[in-house]
């Protein structure tokens, strides 16, 4: 039974769709059909929201490893993480059965559900979401165990992220807002069905999903400066198969860089603004049946 659910926006202060959805539901209450659920709606990083920035000192959504939660880091998000862990966790012995954290991205990822485990709960959740929202993408980041991730949602016993794009930082687009709303409602509909031990959940067929591979960096010159940008034929093509030999970067000198792997991949987080400083161009994934 999911006796306590947290639904969170504003973990990143310039990701407006989750902030606005939580603000609206705090004002109006959740839709009536979720009244059997015990859902806590909240905004995570009020100072970053006020500043309209992703974070003030450090990325809040990377602070929730056991190591970082135990460390003595004066960064404002590190301090905030300890308070949030006490409130919604503590991690590993959590008072929150299911934690849903809402994000948006400048990448054209549509409505993506990010799950961190391939267990019975997450598999049924993913199949249910894909069933009621066929346009959704399922991204599986299970390259390490659930608790080893530093994401905020891992303070819950179970946790997932909603990631919707493309939306510039600090901008609210209606299309992104509506996709965020639809996916949040789909997840809560699943919670109702899970708590009711609905037979429907056992009967859902496997769904398409994408399992995270690795990060691909921009080509840099000897001074560490970028010498290319995302190729126009790759831009906005998140989760579209990238074939061997297809262009991925356009050099500032006009030369193209191609995908040199032997296999196709499913790129995502293409040209995400928040990964700018890290020179991450996109992430790879393999297509799986989940």
Residues of this chain that bind a second copy (CB under 8 A): 20, 23-24, 28, 52, 106, 166, 168-175, 177-178, 225, 229-232, 235, 250, 252-253, 271-274, 276-277
Known catalytic residue: 163?
A: yes
Alpha-carbon distance of 218 to 225, in angstroms, equals 9
Nearer to a second copy by Cβ, of 116 and 234: the residue is 234
Q: What share of the chain is helix, strand, coil (3-state, %, to 5)?
A: 30, 25, 45
Output the smallest distance, CB 158 to a second copy, in A: 29
Nearer to a second copy by Cβ, of 72 and 253: the residue is 253
Nearer to a second copy by Cβ, of 119 and 175: the residue is 175
Output the smallest distance, CB 231 to a second copy, in A: 6
Nearer to a second copy by Cβ, of 107 and 123: the residue is 107
Residue among 96, 85, 132 nearest 113 (CA): 132
> Which structure tokens are listed for 178?
């509506």
Residue among 175, 169, 17 nearest 101 (CA): 17
Output the smallest distance, CB 227 to a second copy, in A: 9
Considering the candidates 15, 77, 141, 163, report the single residue annotated as catalytic. 163
Alpha-carbon distance of 284 to 263, in angstroms, equals 11
Residue 116 region by backbone torsions, left for phi larger than 0, else alpha for psi between -120 and 50, else beta: alpha
Output the smallest distance, CB 24 to a second copy, in A: 5
> Which structure tokens are listed for 83?
């308070």
Alpha-carbon distance of 218 to 207, in angstroms, equals 32
In the chain, count of helices (H) and strands (E)?
7, 11
> Would you name the residues annotated as active-site residues?
163
């Amino acid at each position: 039974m999911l006796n306590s659910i947290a639904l969170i926006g504003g973990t990143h202060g310039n990701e407006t769709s989750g902030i606005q959805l939580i603000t609206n539901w705090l004002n109006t209450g959740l839709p009536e059909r979720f009244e059997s659920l015990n859902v806590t709606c909240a905004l995570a990083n009020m100072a970053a929201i006020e500043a309209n920035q992703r974070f003030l000192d450090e990325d809040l959504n990377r602070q929730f490893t056991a190591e970082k939660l135990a460390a003595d880091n004066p960064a404002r998000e590190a301090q905030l993480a300890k308070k949030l862990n006490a409130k919604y966790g503590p991690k590993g012995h959590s008072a929150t059965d299911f934690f849903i954290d809402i994000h948006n991205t400048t990448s054209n990822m549509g409505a993506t559900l990010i799950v961190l485990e391939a267990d019975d709960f997450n598999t049924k959740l993913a199949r249910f979401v894909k069933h009621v929202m066929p346009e959704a993408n399922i991204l599986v980041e299970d390259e390490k165990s659930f608790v080893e991730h530093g994401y905020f949602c891992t303070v819950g016993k179970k946790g997932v992220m909603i990631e919707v794009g493309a939306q510039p930082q600090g901008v609210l687009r209606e299309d992104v807002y509506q996709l965020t709303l639809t996916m949040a409602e789909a997840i809560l509909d699943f919670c109702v069905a899970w708590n009711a031990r609905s037979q429907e959940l056992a009967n859902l067929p496997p769904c398409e999903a994408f399992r995270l591979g690795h990060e691909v960096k921009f080509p840099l010159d000897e001074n560490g400066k970028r010498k290319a940008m995302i190729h126009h034929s790759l831009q906005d093509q998140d989760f579209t198969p990238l074939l061997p030999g297809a262009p991925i970067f356009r050099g500032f000198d006009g030369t193209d860089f191609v995908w040199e792997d032997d296999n196709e991949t499913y790129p995502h987080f293409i040209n995400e603004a928040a990964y700018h400083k890290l020179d991450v161009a996109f992430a790879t994934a393999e297509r799986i049946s989940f």
